[in-house]
């Protein structure tokens, strides 16, 4: 596993357009998935603890600010605001394969989607969206079949192997080959800041191995990223096909919101992907 991790690519690209700062994955751009990004907190119109590019649908009492923030992201991506579709969060391992008919759900119209933390798209005309404020954003794409996915992996979803299960759906439902899948693991609360108690640490240790847990000064910390990499390793996705941002939301307050750092008084970043 250590040899596998050493071959994983490191670093998303920080970009800026019209004042909006965002991150892209070099391997996705190179593979022709240009319409993807992970937002930072920079470039929007929200104020106070939500400053400034807040995309949360439940925090902040200004629908106008949130719509403007989404429209700014759409301007960067060059996708229609009405084509956005948001996963129906359950902090679990639900996966939904969306169609054009789902465009707008959770954003411009009420959602009737089943509980899901990952959304797979195969068509033009829809942009899949997940929201994050410490939980892990994981991007997937099949370079050959032109299928894409964004997923939201909280610690429960990571433990339930949502990323491994997304890879399984690509292979089982769409005939993808593991060597054709590319993956991006975005900014999230990383191990040095993700302190947990024994009720979380022990199951992670039992399931993913002792090296996902670290004890420092009497406190216990879990690496969600290493647990995700173990899932991808188990699905035979080549290490060279995986890119880790290696950016911590908790420790980088200038760029990112963090639910834990800010005691819940914070906004949310977003993962977006569309097929051209």
- Whether residue 196 is contained in a domain is answered as no
CA–CA dist 14, 147 (Å, integer): 24
- Whether residue 197 is contained in a domain is answered as no
Report residue 21's pLDDT band, with 50, 70 and 90 as the boundaries.
very high
Q: Is pLDDT of 1 > 90?
A: no
Is pLDDT larger for residue 183 or for residue 2? 183
If you average pLDDT over residues 215-240, what whole number do you get? 98
If you average pLDDT over residues 20-45, what whole number do you get? 98
- Whether residue 228 is contained in a domain is answered as no
Q: Is 169 helix (H, G, I), strand (E, B) or coil?
A: helix
Per cent of the chain over pLDDT 90 is 99
DSSP state of 113: P
Encode pLDDT of 178-187 as tens digits: 999 999 999 9
Q: Is 274 helix (H, G, I), strand (E, B) or coil?
A: strand
- Sign of the alpha-carbon torsion through 106, 153, 242, 258: positive
Residue among 27, 244, 234, 262 nearest 136 (CA): 244
- Whether residue 201 is contained in a domain is answered as no
Give Cα 269 distance to the centre of its chain.
Answer: 9
If you average pLDDT over residues 50-68, what whole number do you get? 96
Query: What is the phi/psi pair of residue 232, to 5°?
Result: -70, -40
- Whether residue 79 is contained in a domain is answered as yes
Cβ atoms 20, 39 nearer than 8 A: yes
Report residue 2's pLDDT band, with 50, 70 and 90 as the boundaries.
confident
CA–CA dist 205, 208 (Å, integer): 6
Cβ atoms 40, 52 nearer than 8 A: no
Report residue 148's pLDDT band, with 50, 70 and 90 as the boundaries.
very high
219 burial via Cβ count (<10 Å: 0-12, 13-18, 19+): exposed
Crossing angle, helix 224-234 and helix 162-174, to 10 degrees? Answer: 30
Q: Is pLDDT of 122 > 90?
A: yes
- Whether residue 83 is contained in a domain is answered as yes
- Whether residue 93 is contained in a domain is answered as yes
Domain count of the chain?
1
Residue found under tokens 């096909």:
241
Residue 270, domain extent = 1-188+238-274
If you average pLDDT over residues 116-122, what whole number do you get? 98
If you average pLDDT over residues 177-196, what whole number do you get? 98
CATH number at residue 244: 3.60.140.10
- Whether residue 213 is contained in a domain is answered as no
């Amino acid at each position: 596993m250590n040899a596998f991790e050493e071959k994983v690519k490191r670093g998303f690209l920080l970009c800026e357009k019209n004042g909006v700062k965002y991150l892209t994955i070099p391997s996705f751009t190179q593979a022709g998935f240009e319409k993807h990004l992970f937002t930072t907190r920079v470039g929007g119109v929200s104020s106070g603890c939500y400053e400034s590019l807040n995309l949360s649908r439940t925090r902040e009492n200004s629908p106008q600010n949130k719509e403007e923030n989404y429209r700014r992201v759409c301007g960067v991506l060059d996708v229609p605001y009405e084509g956005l579709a948001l996963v129906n969060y359950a902090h679990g391992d639900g996966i939904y394969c969306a169609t054009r008919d789902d465009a707008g759900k959770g954003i411009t119209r009420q959602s009737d989607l089943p509980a899901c933390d990952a959304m797979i798209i195969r068509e033009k005309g829809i942009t899949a969206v997940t929201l994050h404020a410490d939980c892990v954003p994981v991007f997937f794409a099949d370079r050959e079949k032109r299928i894409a996915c964004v997923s939201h992996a909280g610690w429960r979803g990571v433990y339930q192997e949502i990323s491994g299960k997304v890879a399984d759906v690509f292979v089982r439902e769409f005939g993808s080959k593991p060597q054709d899948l590319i993956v991006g693991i975005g900014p999230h609360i990383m191990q040095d800041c993700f302190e947990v108690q024994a009720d979380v640490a022990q199951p992670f240790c039992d399931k993913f191995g002792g090296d996902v847990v670290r004890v420092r000064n009497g406190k216990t910390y879990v690496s969600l990223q290493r647990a995700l990499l173990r899932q991808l390793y188990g699905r035979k996705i080549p290490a060279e096909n995986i890119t880790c941002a290696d950016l911590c939301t908790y420790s980088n307050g200038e760029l990112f919101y963090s639910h834990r750092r800010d005691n819940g008084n914070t906004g949310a970043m977003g993962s977006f992907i569309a097929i051209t």
